[in-house]
Structure 1
Amino acid sequence: MDLLAPLWLLLLLPLLALAVTYVVLQRRRRRYAVRFASLPLLEKVAPEQPGWRRHAPAAAFVLALAALALAAARPVIDVRVPHERATLIVAIDVSRSMEATDVEPSRMEAARQAAAAFIESLPETFNVGLVTFSGATSVVATPTTDHEAVAAALEGLPMANSTAIGEAVFTSLDQVAAMARGEEDVDVPARIVLLSDGTNTTGRSPDEAAVAATEAAVPVSTIAYGTQDGTVEIQGNIVPVPVDVAALAALAEDTGGQAYTAESGDELAEVYDDIGSSIGWRTEPREITPYLSAAGFLLGLAAGAMSLRWFARLP
């Protein structure tokens, strides 16, 4: 929490002195009563002691003054507010390694199901596009608010050889730029979510892509998907297809995105949930002076009401 006018917190000093004085006087009053009164006589004259009710109005009054003093300092806190609009490009690896069955029923099928659920869960006002990549990239769906159509486009994606992670980022950036040209004088946030299970084997490097994404202020969140023991059969040969976690994490870190790993369909669904909760919201500072002022007023009102109710006087 930040304070726009912190000097007003000095008002808490006399309030602290008032609270200390109250405590001292209450203790002195108790000692006086014990010293000069007969306890059995007091029990007969005043059998029902106010107990905690004696201090409740004073406590509420002090809290009211504290809230008003804090309000005078104009505190500011960070709050999460939903994005009204955003552009999101989902980039999915469709190289042959995605046919590996170390994730049931296969990496590709589990990835398709999780991506479809993720896309359909996004806010209706988000423009979502779909890019696939193997040795080359393909724009399967340009950014649109028709999320069902984008999710449906995940069906039957063709598989091919090689993995062009860098090119997938460049193609996604082109889609973001195309959307930005259609948004006149509107700063719409954008992000790329890239899922892959392999190492960049062709095209421009992920390092070059990271530089371009940083210049465009578009974070790239990466999902390293699959296990280190995954294999796939290519032309009768069993080929290991371990996940290159380090390279994908570096791409995310260099662009200000988030790096994830997932070794099962359930883990992937959890990753997409986390990404959705982060890109659907932004953090912005908000002054809470009115709320503290209202709290101070209500506490002061409560102090007066308790004092009138129990003692027929104002505090």
Structure 2
Amino acid sequence: MTFLSPERLWLLALVPLLAGAYIILQMRRRQYAVRFTNLSLLAQVAPKRPGWRRHVAALLFLAMIILMMVGFARPASSVKVPRDRATVMVAIDVSLSMMAKDVPPTRFEAAKSAAKKFIRDLPSRFNVGVVSFAGNANLVSAPSADREAATASIDQLVLAKRTAIGEAVFTSLQGVRSFDAQASQDPPPAHIVLLSDGDNTTGRTVQEAIDASRAAHIPVSTIAFGTPYGTVDIEGETTSVSVNKETLRTLADNTDGKSYEAADAGQLTDVYANIGSSLGFKIEHRDVAARFTGIALLLALAAGGVSLAWFSRLP
């Protein structure tokens, strides 16, 4: 819980003063009775009554005051609200290293399968676009609600040389800006999900991509896919293609996204499911002061009822 006017909480500092004043008055009252009253006569005139009852109304009143002070500070609860025009850009690495068979049947085929499931499982209100990247980046499916077009574009992907992670981010950002007629002036809330197994080897740098993403207020979540043991055969030569996790982590951490790692198809599916559950929402703070005011009112009624029932007077 948060408070929309937290500066008003200073009023709670008065509560110990009220409690202290009440305790002092009770002590003075007892001393006064002992000083000016014959104890044996007092026992006859004022029959013994449960002393604790005298404090119930005061405690209820004090609790009411506390709740009213908290309500005055405008407490608010955080709720997830679906974003209108929410857009997810799925960027998939199609560099030659994705031929590695450390993830069966290959990294490439496993990545395509998981990406298609991720797209199909997204809520229908989401728009989704697809970007492929190797030596350069291409928008292969413009963002829309058409799931069939998006998944079909993934089936058409082909492998190529080099890895342009920075270009993939810039192409994804451009896809968001071209989403609809108002996107250039009022871009839709968006999130980029980028899967790769390598480092940025060509095109604009990852730092430039970070700067552009932050300027557009679009986070980039990354998935480092593969194991340290992947190899590929290129032109008759076997090359090790271990995953470069640090580059992807840097991209995610500096754009307010999240970085994930997946070493097999099952883990990749879980990662996509985790990402999908958090996209397309914004956090809003809704004022819940009425709850505190209502409870305070009930305590006030309880204090008055107790006082009338036991002492025939209001507190």
Q: Could you say which TM-score interval applies, normalised by the shorter chain?
A: 0.7 to 0.9
Partner of 1:205: 205
Shift in Å at residue 73 of structure 1? 2.5
Shift in Å at residue 186 of structure 1? 4.0
Q: How far apart are the structure 2 equivalents of 1:188 and 1:301?
A: 50
Shift in Å at residue 112 of structure 1? 2.1
String of CA shifts for 1:191-248, please: whole Å, max 9, x gaps. 2111100122333332333333333333222211111111123344322111111122
Shift in Å at residue 13 of structure 1? 2.4
Equivalent pairs, count: 298
In 2 relative to 1, CA 273–296 (structure 1 residues): closer, same or farther, beyond 3 Å? farther
Contact 2:177 2:187 (8 Å CA) reproduced:
no
Q: How far apart are the structure 2 equivalents of 1:5 and 1:255?
A: 29
String of CA shifts for 1:113-172, please: whole Å, max 9, x gaps. 322232233332222100111223332211001234323432353222322222222221
TM-score (norm 2): 0.76
Aligned 1:120-269 pairs, distance under 5 A: 120-179=120-179, 181-183=181-183, 186-269=186-269
Partner of 1:113: 113
Shift in Å at residue 11 of structure 1? 5.6
Shift in Å at residue 249 of structure 1? 1.9
Contact 1:92 1:131 (8 Å CA) reproduced:
yes
Mark the runs of 5 or more structure 1 residues left unpaired by the alignment.
30-35, 37-45
Contact 1:135 1:202 (8 Å CA) reproduced:
yes
Shift in Å at residue 105 of structure 1? 3.3
For the pair 1:82 / 2:82, whether they are aligned, the reply is: yes
Q: How far apart are the structure 2 equivalents of 1:111 and 1:23?
A: 73
Mark the runs of 5 or more structure 2 residues left unpaired by the alignment.
31-38, 40-48
Moved more, 90-99 or 295-304: 295-304
Partner of 1:42: none
Q: Which amino acid aligns with 1:6?
A: E
SS at match of 2:170: helix
Partner of 2:282: 282
Shift in Å at residue 311 of structure 1? 6.6
Q: How far apart are the structure 2 equivalents of 1:110 and 1:301?
A: 65
% identical aligned pairs:
44
Q: How far apart are the structure 1 equivalents of 2:72 and 2:249?
A: 45
Q: How far apart are the structure 1 equivalents of 2:95 and 2:238?
A: 15
Q: How far apart are the structure 2 equivalents of 1:115 and 1:23?
A: 70
In 2 relative to 1, CA 148–66 (structure 1 residues): closer, same or farther, beyond 3 Å? farther
SS at match of 1:198: coil
Moved more, 252-261 or 9-18: 9-18
Q: Which amino acid aligns with 1:268?
A: L
In 2 relative to 1, CA 241–20 (structure 1 residues): closer, same or farther, beyond 3 Å? farther
Contact 2:87 2:176 (8 Å CA) reproduced:
yes
Contact 1:19 1:62 (8 Å CA) reproduced:
no
Contact 1:12 1:66 (8 Å CA) reproduced:
no
Q: Which amino acid aligns with 1:216?
A: A
TM-score (norm 1): 0.76
Runs of 4+ in 1 over 6 A off after TM superposition: 22-26, 53-58, 310-315
